[in-house]
Structure 1
Amino acid sequence: MIKVLNVAEKPSVAKSVATILSRNQLRVREGRSRYNKIFEFNYSINGQQCHMLVTSVTGHLMEVDFEDRFRKWHSCDPADLYTAPVRKHVPEDKLDIKRTLEEEARKCHWLVLWLDCDREGENIAFEMMEVCKGVNRNLTIRRARFSALIEGSFLRPSLFLLRDELVSS
């Protein structure tokens, strides 16, 4: 059975996706972050039996900041900031979400991203892919396409999974 980690942009979307796809036949467990639960149920995608795990982030998982030596107001000439190196990292308040994603991604075959189809959603998608692929390089990544979180808008699985398709506009 294929294990599928589904990750939504926010907890309310994860709950709606899980409730609709499972027809409210799901199990709920706690993740490391008390706000980001994990919903579990069995599902069929194109005739393939899957064990679905649905969880979420809370917007961006990572932030970009200057290296420490450039972070204090009087540490450098402000003009130096135009060429100063930056680092991308998971802030302290999102580490529990990152750990949940890592733990679940290790055990899964697929990663399905349930994000808005815009530039912000795409940026968040790359953050999730970086974290999950960091612990499981063999993950197959898919992007869910949906227009509304109502039953019928994405129930046919062959229509809602896009292969490595990311927003280009």
Structure 2
Amino acid sequence: MKSFKLIPIGAALTLCVAASAPAFAVTVAPAGPITLSGSTTLTNPVTSLGCTATMTGTIGGSGEISITSASFSGNSLCSHVTPASLPWSGQVLSTTSLSLSGVGVNTPLGNCGPSTIGASMTENPADKETVIGFAQQILSGGCKVSGSLTTTPYLTVQ
């Protein structure tokens, strides 16, 4: 006959709580409306397009992100780039990284996304700015996107 070992209830509860806890919990301040703006480059198999991006949305105190609008300016083609699949949702993953899902744009040269991209977050307390950086992030449709966006307001992540 097989023998079974019983796990004490406290140990079992600890295992369940540990398995359901996030790997890293963050606190973002201030929570509320957010604007991101800066240079971006969209590359597809045919060409590269550099534009200034302006995005607006909200960020929660636990790092949840919702981008509800995006516009692109710069050269004449940039005004024809439009966001697709808004809102884009995401999460601040740590003090130095975030993930954004559903990112997509429609361009005169073809559509890119929706896809999930990863980005770095860098706080610069001396200049009171937070910079979101992403390099060669792959979007469906054969596109890659890179950029450096500064947040308004300045965010701190702990």
Fold equivalence (TM over 0.5): no
Greater RCO, CA 8 A, separation 6+: 1
Q: Which has the higher strand share?
A: 2
Q: Which has the higher helix share?
A: 1
When normalised by structure 1's length, the TM-score is: 0.29
When normalised by structure 2's length, the TM-score is: 0.30
Structure showing greater Rg:
2
